[in-house]
Structure 1
């Protein structure tokens, strides 16, 4: 689906295009101005995103956030990337959703859970071990 948009074979309101990234309005937006940023190359998950795209991905996402906020008069934006779980399209994409105070969007990260005594240290050690392993 997103690959067809990147190739120009599927209709979308494209707001930005380079050889490596494409940004377009979400066909089913949470609010008007809800945009998606995708790499032109097909990769399914965040960890597959080529590191060579990092600079352009970051600068384009920041510019897109500012543009969406300005164009819609938003107070801010929600930037969201799902990775496998809740990823409705198997192509990595960043949502840029304009937000206004009191807009009614009920987005929360929960339920929250406290660490059991000593558990935070164990989890941190496991994460550090995986980071150093590569």
Structure 2
């Protein structure tokens, strides 16, 4: 069930603008507005779930499968050498809706430990990154 006060629920519902990368029945993914690196994507369950321990068991495999596809898309769609995949639960969770960060990585990109630089998209650039990732994800695998 969506939470009307939750920013991520509102993005998934189309009430707040977001650059969607993945739009499926149980999950959605969109670009982070303050990316570590361009292409940084947030994967969320459509249902309002606050933390990973709250995610219903019947949604775990689909959620992880979507994260796996996004990690692959970072390489195939953006030319990254790899990816960083992470979730916070309560502490450092800026929006109280479960979200998995999938970040493109390249050797020497400057990401060290947990002191992460943030960047911004230029005009129209976010839409282009989202389009490239959508193209690399392809159809859902059952």
Provide runs of 4+ in structure 1 moved above 4 Å: none
- Please name the residue that 1:44 is paired with: 50
TM-score, normalised by the number of residues in structure 1: 0.77
The count of aligned residue pairs is 109
The alignment's C-alpha RMSD in Å is 1.3
Offset of residue 6 of structure 1: 1.1
TM-score, normalised by the number of residues in structure 2: 0.73
- For structure 2, the 5+ residue unaligned runs are 1-6, 115-142
1:84-105: CA deviation from partner (whole Å, max 9, x where unpaired): 1111110000000011101011
Is 1:76 the counterpart of 2:82? The answer is yes
Alpha-carbon distance in 2 for matches of 1:51, 1:69: 29
User: Structure 2 residue aligned with 1:17, among 13, 17, 23?
Assistant: 23
Larger Rg: 1
Q: Which has the higher contact order (CA 8 A, sep 6+)?
A: 2
1:38-96: CA deviation from partner (whole Å, max 9, x where unpaired): 00000111100111111211111111110122222111111010011111110000000
Alpha-carbon distance in 2 for matches of 1:105, 1:77: 11
